Amino acid sequence: MGWFRWWGKSRKTDNTPDIEVQDLQVSSITKRAALLALSEKLSLGSENVVGEVVLALDHPELYVEQWEERLDNRGIEAPIPDLAWIALVDALDQLGLVWEIDWKQDAQTILFAVGSLLDRRGWLLPAADRRLEQAISHDNYTFDLLGELHKWLRPHGIVMGHLDINSDSYVLIIVREDECGEIERLAATSGYRFHSRFS
């Protein structure tokens, strides 16, 4: 009798999926939607960028084959769990919308990278403020230099942050301050991180 009672309770009596399965499906859909929305926002609506992310999500083997040379620079030879995130970063890089720098980089390279990002977005600051080199202490470490530039850009309504690819490099990107919260939320929902500060 006890066994029958256990069996009756453990068997499903309808066709609705388990709560855990439902949560997993919703979570997966939410992550995908957030990543695609983030891709569109960061790429200024580029269909090519969003398309590359979709390809990495839906057909990872095909993506790896198509972008073999680009992925080879990262030591990626087969699909990995974060392939869609890497696809987003690399596609943004192709458009000049991000700039990946080493954790130990000289000031001039960093200044050139940030200046290029500003120019690519078309965010021309007042002439007196375009001298980025005045914003930093040239003998500082990379992280400190990035922190100084971050602070310098904030009064202009611009946030310089970085996309976390679990590497010893910084994938720099600049965004409008009023978009920063949504970008952080979308990145977190998709399972990744956008750092909006250097501290």
Residue 61: CB atoms within 10 Å: 10
The Cα 86–Cα 83 span in angstroms is 5
Task: With beta carbons less than 8 A apart as the criterion, state whether 137 and 144 touch.
Answer: yes
Look up residue 83 and give its two tokens: 């392939």
Q: What is the pLDDT along the chain (199 residues), one digit of tens a residue?
A: 443 333 333 334 445 445 454 454 547 779 999 999 999 999 999 999 999 999 999 999 999 999 999 999 999 999 999 999 999 999 999 999 999 999 999 888 999 999 899 999 988 766 555 567 776 776 788 999 999 999 989 988 999 999 999 999 999 999 999 999 999 999 999 999 999 998 7
Tell me the longest C-alpha to C-alpha distance in the chain. 86
Q: What is the pLDDT of residue 20?
A: 54
* Burial letters 89-109, b for 16+ CB under 10 A, else e: bbbbeeeebbbbbeeebebee
Q: What is the pLDDT of residue 131?
A: 67
Pairing state between β 194-195 and 169-176: unpaired
